[in-house]
Amino acid sequence: MNTKLLVRKFEQDGYLLLDNFFGPEPMRRLDSRILEHFGDDPAFLHTDEFLEKAKTDVIPWFPQDEGQNDFGLVDDNVELQHLTRAILGDAWHRLSCMVMFSKQGTMGQAWHQDCTPENAAQYNLNRLVYSSDIDDETGGQTVVVPGSHRHGLLPPGDPWVDLENQQILRPRTGTLVLLHGHVWHRVLPIRGRYRYSTNYRAVPAGTAANVTDVCVYRNMRYQFSTETVVEERTA
Ligand SMILES: O=C(O)CCC(=O)C(=O)O
Ligand SMILES: [Fe+2]
């Protein structure tokens, strides 16, 4: 792993996809814990207004807040810590580890930025771990616009339309995706039985732990803590 090159690529593109970053055994363990927790038909947590307007069907779970030790296998990975420090700087810190689960037939996630991009130095780094394969058959591919973390606000408009230069990512079991929170990104509809990723979010020094409380969609800004639309956006 050439860290310098990876950091340069991350700064350029706003993301990195590293296949086989994690071995099969920790992925198998993560996978069983996630499927045990969600079972076959979990209920949605968000309000109907959010589900309708954000066009986002995900159910979050914070396993480490419940003392699930297996999720530490990823956190403790020395190469991941090294790469995180190279990207975020010395005094980075981690946020809660969050599993995001979507059911079959749901629409995935509309275009968004995880946090507002007005201050380029304040952002979250998604450290996304995939413990099962995502391909065109399962759906749920992650779509990004490379370099868009340098282009400011996601333009208002159709939440689902293809954007110029978008790249479709198809992570496999053991893939690590590092994704800057200001990158314009979305998740395609779920065709398989379910789809999930585990996100070990981290932030640079001086960034508030609630930096992702307000998320930018093409049709609104949404605040999760108050469950309110804080700004309607129109093209
Ligand atoms: O699950 C993914 O592939 C992307 C999820 C996402 O948008 C995020 O973690 O902010
Ligand atoms: Fe996101």
Span of 38-42, 48-52, 168-172 with lowest mean pLDDT: 48-52
* Cα–ligand 2 centroid distance for 77 (angstroms): 23
Q: Evaluate if residue 74 carries a pLDDT over 90.
A: no
- The minimum-distance atom of ligand 1 relative to the CA of 197 is 1
Q: How many domains does the chain have?
A: 1
Residue 18 CB-density burial (10 A; 0-12 exposed, 13-18 middle, 19+ buried): middle
pLDDT for residue 51: 58
pLDDT for residue 105: 86
| CATH label of the domain that carries residue 50 | 2.60.120.620
In tens, the pLDDT along 165-205 reads 999 999 999 999 999 999 999 999 999 988 999 999 999 99
Mutate to test the pocket of ligand 1, among 99, 126, 141, 173 (most ligand atoms within 8 A of CB): 126
pLDDT for residue 41: 58
pLDDT for residue 73: 83
Q: Which residues line ligand 1 (CB under 6 A)?
A: 100, 109, 114, 126, 128, 142, 185, 187, 197, 199
The tokens 């585990």 sit on which residue? 198
Looking at the chain, the whole-number percentage of residues with pLDDT higher than 70 is 92
Domain that holds residue 215: 3-232
